[in-house]
């Protein structure tokens, strides 16, 4: 496997993988209408293009030996972070692994990229939001040493949901 930092040439593949992994992860717990509304708004090409062009956001694919995308990572620093409360921090906004590649340690590999990037940028903390009902993700991040420090609202279509904020000092 190998890691690739994304640029605009990866836009269409990013959209495909983003919508697929988000849908697979959350469709069973949400209405189809809310899922479609979220996917259309959050992963449209114009929005993803702007995110890729933001100098304070970083995207990475983890690919297998045949260059198939197994998962991806999105990181934010400074004004690209989705919350203003975290100075000198790096946000892990997305770690998503395609279903066929889950339970193979890829989440940990992507987390290690986040940690390396945070150190390179001189950040002291890593933070993220995780849906309160995503037990697997909460357990994964707790195992990595993250602590719960608060919450915020995440709008899934017309359904306001609670994301728990987790932080780790590095």
Instruction: Give me the sign of the Cα torsion angle 92, 147, 166, 17.
Output: positive
Annotated active-site residue in 38, 43, 96, 141 = 141
3-state SS, one letter per residue, for 41-70: HHCCHHHHHHHHHCCCEEEEEEECCCCCEE
105: left (phi over 0), alpha (psi -120 to 50) or beta: left
Task: Check if 111 is active-site.
Answer: no
Distance CA 70, CA 17 (A): 9
Beta strands in 82-124 (DSSP E): 89-97
Nearest 5°: CA angle at 64, between 62 and 67? 90
Query: Annotated catalytic sites, by residue?
Result: 141
């Amino acid at each position: 496997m190998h890691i690739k930092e994304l640029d605009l040439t990866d836009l269409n593949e990013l959209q495909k993988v983003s919508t697929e992994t988000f849908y697979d992860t959350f469709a069973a717990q949400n209405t189809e209408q809310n899922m479609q509304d979220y996917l259309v708004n959050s992963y449209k090409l114009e929005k993803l293009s702007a995110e890729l062009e933001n100098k304070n956001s970083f995207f990475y694919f983890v690919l297998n030996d045949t260059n198939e995308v197994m998962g991806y990572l999105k990181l934010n620093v400074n004004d690209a972070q989705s919350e203003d409360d975290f100075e000198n921090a790096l946000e892990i906004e997305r770690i998503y692994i395609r279903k066929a590649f889950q339970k193979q340690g890829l989440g940990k590999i992507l987390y290690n990229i986040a940690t390396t990037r945070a150190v390179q940028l001189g950040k002291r903390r890593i933070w993220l939001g995780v849906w309160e009902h995503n037990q697997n993700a909460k357990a994964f991040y707790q195992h990595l040493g993250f602590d719960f420090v608060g919450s915020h609202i995440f709008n899934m279509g017309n359904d306001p949901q609670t994301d728990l904020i987790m932080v780790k000092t590095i």
